[in-house]
C-alpha cells in the first residue's frame, strides 16, 4: 500500500480556532452529563421496577430506537437546512427533555413506562443532533483538519465515558439521581451558547434539490452505488462493528461480578484514548487502508486470545487492545466519509455511516448472544475472531478514500 501524504496540522491544531475550541469545551461537559444521566436512568429503573432486569435492559433500547428510525431523515434535513441552526434546535430539544425528566423524578411519579417515554423523546434529539454535528466539522475547521477534529472529539468523548459514570456512581447516593439529570439539562446551554456565538463569514450555499423527498432521503444509498470508496467504508465498517459488538455481548459472561466487569470495560475507553494520542504519528506514516487492515487484524487476534483468557488483568488488557483498534477503525471510517462526500450530501452520508456503525452494535450483540447460548462464551469469541480474519481477507482489496485538499 502506498503511504498517504502526512497531515500538515498537529492533533491539537483545531483547538487554535476559537469556534471549535468553544464548542469542544462545551461538548465534553455535555457528554459527561449524558453519561451521568444514563447511569441515573438505569438506577431509577432498577429502583422503580423492583429490580426487574428486563425493564432495566429497556433503558438502552429506549435510547437506541430513535437513532435507528430517525438518523436518515435527520441527515436529509441537515442537507436541506442551515446546519448550525438545526444543531441548536437538536440541543435545545435534548435540554428540554432532560429538564422534563428532572421534573418527573422530583415530583415523585415513579413510573417505569413514563421514564422510558421520556428517554425515547430525549433520544429523538440525540438522533437529530448526530448528523448535524458530524456534518459541521468540515465547515468549522476545514477539510484539512477534519481528521484532527474527529480524533479530538473521540478523545473527549471517551474521557467523558470514563468520568461521567464514575461521578454519577459517587454522587447519586449523596445528591440523588435527579441532580445528575438536571446537570445534563444545564450542560446543553453551553453547547447552544458556543453555536450561537460562532460567527461564520457566510453560511455555505448548497443547491436546493429538485428531487422528490424519498429520493432525497435515500440519496446516500444512491451515492454508495456510484462511489466504490464510500461503499467500502459502509461494508468494512459495518462488518467490523458487528464483530466488535461481541465485547459488550460476551464480557458480562466472562466477568459476571459487576466490579470486575466495570474494571475490564473501562479498559476499552482507556485503549481508545491511547489510540487518539497515537493517531497523528500513525496517520502521518501510513495510508488509511493499511491502518484499517492492521487494526482489524489486531482486533481479531485480541478476540482469539480473549477466548483463552481467564483473569481480570488479562481480559482488561485485551479489551484495551479492542478499544485501541476500535478507535483507529472508527476514525478512519468517519474521516474517510468526510473526504469522499460532497458538501450537499454530507449530512445524509454521515447519517448513513453512523447508522451502519450503530446498527452493527445493535444487531451484532444479540447475534453473539445467541451463538454464546448455543455454544459457550469462549467458542463465541473464537468464532468472532476467525470471522473477522475471514472478512478482512474478503474485503482487503476494497479501497478506502484518501485525504483531499480543501
Answer whether residue 302 is part of any domain.
yes
Domain count, the chain: 2
How many other CB atoms sit within 10 Å of the CB of residue 3? 10
The larger pLDDT score, comparing residue 323 to residue 249, is at 323
Q: Clarify whether residues 260 and 397 are in a common domain.
A: yes
Answer whether residue 2 is part of any domain.
no
User: Based on the number of CB atoms within 10 Å of its own CB, is 276 exposed (0-12), middle (13-18) or buried (19 or more)?
Assistant: buried
Answer whether residue 1 is part of any domain.
no
Q: Is the pTM of this model over 0.85?
A: no
How many other CB atoms sit within 10 Å of the CB of residue 140? 19
Q: Is 342 helix (H, G, I), strand (E, B) or coil?
A: coil
Q: Clarify whether residues 26 and 84 are in a common domain.
A: yes
| Domain CATH code at residue 278 | 1.20.1250.20
- The span from the CA of 262 to the CA of 143, in Å, is 37
Answer whether residue 378 is part of any domain.
yes
pLDDT exceeds cutoff 60 at 178: yes
- The residue whose grid cell reads 442551515 is 82
Q: Clarify whether residues 173 and 296 are in a common domain.
A: no
Contact 9, 283 (CB under 8 A): no
- The 3-state DSSP composition of the chain as helix, strand, coil percent (nearest 5) reads 85, 0, 15
Find the mean pLDDT for residues 240-257.
77
Among residues 174, 202, 230, the one where a domain terminates is 202
pLDDT exceeds cutoff 80 at 294: yes
**What is the extent of the structural domain holding 277?**
212-406
Contact 274, 320 (CB under 8 A): yes
Quickly state the pLDDT bin for 259 (edges 50, 70, 90). Answer: low
Quickly state the pLDDT bin for 4 (edges 50, 70, 90). Answer: very low
pLDDT digits (tens, 9 = 90+) for 186-213: 999 999 999 999 887 665 555 555 555 5
Question: Which of these, 142, 152, 143, 133, lies nearest to 280 by C-alpha position?
Answer: 152
Q: Grid coordinates standing for 235?
A: 461494508
Quickly state the pLDDT bin for 9 (edges 50, 70, 90). Answer: low
Q: Is 8 helix (H, G, I), strand (E, B) or coil?
A: coil
Answer whether residue 207 is part of any domain.
no
Task: Name, of 138-152, 273-287, 318-332, the range with top average pLDDT.
Answer: 318-332
Among residues 202, 231, 261, the one where a domain terminates is 202
Among residues 170, 202, 234, the one where a domain terminates is 202
Residues of the chain above pLDDT 90, percent: 34
Amino acid at each position: 500500500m502506498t503511504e498517504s501524504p502526512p497531515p500538515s496540522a498537529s492533533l491539537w491544531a483545531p483547538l487554535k480556532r476559537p469556534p471549535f475550541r468553544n464548542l469542544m469545551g462545551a461538548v465534553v461537559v455535555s457528554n459527561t452529563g449524558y453519561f451521568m444521566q444514563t447511569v441515573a436512568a438505569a438506577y431509577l429503573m432498577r429502583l422503580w421496577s423492583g429490580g426487574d432486569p428486563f425493564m432495566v435492559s429497556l433503558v438502552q433500547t429506549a435510547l437506541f430506537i430513535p437513532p435507528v428510525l430517525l438518523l436518515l431523515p435527520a441527515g436529509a434535513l441537515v442537507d436541506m437546512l442551515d446546519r448550525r441552526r438545526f444543531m441548536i434546535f437538536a440541543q435545545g430539544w435534548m435540554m428540554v427533555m432532560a429538564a422534563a425528566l428532572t421534573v418527573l423524578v422530583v415530583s415523585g411519579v415513579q413510573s417505569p413506562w413514563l421514564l422510558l417515554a421520556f428517554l425515547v423523546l430525549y433520544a429523538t434529539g440525540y438522533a437529530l443532533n448526530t448528523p448535524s454535528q458530524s456534518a459541521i466539522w468540515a465547515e468549522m475547521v476545514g477539510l484539512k483538519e477534519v481528521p484532527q477534529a474527529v480524533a479530538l472529539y473521540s478523545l473527549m468523548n471517551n474521557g467523558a465515558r470514563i468520568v461521567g459514570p464514575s461521578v454519577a456512581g459517587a454522587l447519586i447516593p449523596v445528591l440523588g439521581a435527579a441532580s445528575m439529570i438536571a446537570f445534563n439539562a444545564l450542560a446543553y446551554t453551553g453547547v447552544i451558547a458556543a453555536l450561537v456565538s460562532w460567527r461564520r463569514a457566510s453560511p455555505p450555499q448548497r443547491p436546493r434539490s429538485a428531487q422528490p423527498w424519498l429520493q432525497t432521503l435515500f440519496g446516500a444509498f444512491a451515492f454508495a452505488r456510484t462511489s466504490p470508496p464510500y461503499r467500502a467504508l459502509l461494508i468494512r465498517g459495518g462488518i467490523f462493528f458487528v464483530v466488535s459488538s461481541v465485547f459488550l455481548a460476551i464480557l458480562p459472561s466472562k466477568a459476571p461480578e459487576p466490579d470486575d466487569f466495570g474494571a475490564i470495560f473501562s479498559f476499552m475507553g482507556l485503549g481508545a484514548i491511547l489510540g487518539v494520542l497515537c493517531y497523528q504519528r500513525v496517520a502521518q506514516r501510513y495510508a488509511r487502508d493499511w491502518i484499517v487492515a492492521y487494526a482489524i487484524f489486531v482486533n481479531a487476534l485480541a478476540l482469539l486470545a480473549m477466548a483463552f483468557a481467564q483473569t481480570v488483568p488479562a481480559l482488561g488488557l485485551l479489551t484495551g487492545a479492542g478499544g485501541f483498534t476500535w478507535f483507529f477503525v472508527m476514525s478512519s471510517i468517519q474521516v474517510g466519509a468526510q473526504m469522499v462526500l460532497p458538501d450537499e450530501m454530507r449530512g445524509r452520508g454521515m447519517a448513513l455511516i453512523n447508522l451502519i456503525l450503530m446498527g452493527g452494535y445493535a444487531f451484532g450483540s444479540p447475534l453473539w448472544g445467541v451463538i454464546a447460548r448455543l455454544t459457550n462464551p469462549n467458542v463465541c469469541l473464537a468464532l468472532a475472531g476467525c470471522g473477522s480474519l475471514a472478512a478482512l481477507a474478503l474485503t482487503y482489496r476494497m479501497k478506502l478514500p484518501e485525504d483531499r485538499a480543501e
